[in-house]
A = this chain, B = another copy of it.
Amino acid sequence: MKLVPCASCPLRKLSLFLPLAPGELALIESLKRDQAMLRADASIIHEGQTNAPLYTLLSGWAFRFKTLSDGRRQILNFLLPGDFIGVQQKMSDASVHGVQALTDVMLCVFPREKLWDLYKDYPTLAFDVTWLAAREEQMLDEGLLSVGRRTAMERLAYLLLTMFQRAEEIGLTKGDTIQFPFTQQHVADTLGMSLVHINKTLQRLNATKTMRWKERRFEILNREELAKIAFYEPAAPRARRPFI
């Protein structure tokens, strides 16, 4: 398989990313070790794996998760194109969570040892890495708020709405619809509920006519009302990039 040169990397086309200085691009190019293609359901990082490389998700969906020894699983977050995989592991430690592909995915592989070069020579990029980590952390905060304090209906509405909006930002939606790759079981494991209860809550939520989710196809019918159900409090407009 041919390597996609970074200059034509799909991520570079996103408006989220301002142009890099030429030197930065060259550096990124030099850091890139490899590119990997994985099938849906493949494991990207195993729980307990040591010194896993960093990845950027170029295309497809994935998710981070943890499991207890008796099999209970908690999905921590979904990953979309443009997301970084692996910053979570405090450097050089064993990974304490797994990452699994939800669809076929394409990954850019980035050896962990070289992260230091990036910090040393390209503080702008280092700043970006921190920014991405902070963004991840905010999503986790929201997840914790959902699972801890939102009701079943609010949780489900919140998750579907925000997943839609994340997908929308990177152009994965068509109007008010999208094809979600996850199942009701995935959602159950994300929201800390049982599959059956997700299904019953979904019936009630569909009945509100603010949205519809059936056979993986999701459609928003009334975004404001859905946001109200979700207890979604609109954040300040997103910064496009770290300041300076």
Contact = CB atoms under 8 A, between A and B. Distances in A.
A233 B92 contact: no
A147 B147 contact: yes
Contacts of A50: 236
Interface string A65-87: 01011101110100000000001
Contacts of A91: 127, 130-131, 134, 239, 242-243
8 shortest interchain CB distances as A-B pairs: A148-B192, A90-B134, A94-B236, A119-B123, A92-B243, A72-B149, A74-B148, A140-B140
Nearest to A119: B123
Contact of A192 (B74, B136, B142, B147): B147
Interface string A144-179: 110111100000000000000000000000000000
A88 B136 CA distance: 9
A235 B141 contact: no
A138 interface: yes
A244 interface: yes
A137 interface: yes
Interface in A194-211: none
- Pick from A123, A141, A231 the residue with the most CB of B within 10 Å: A141
Contacts of A243: 91-92
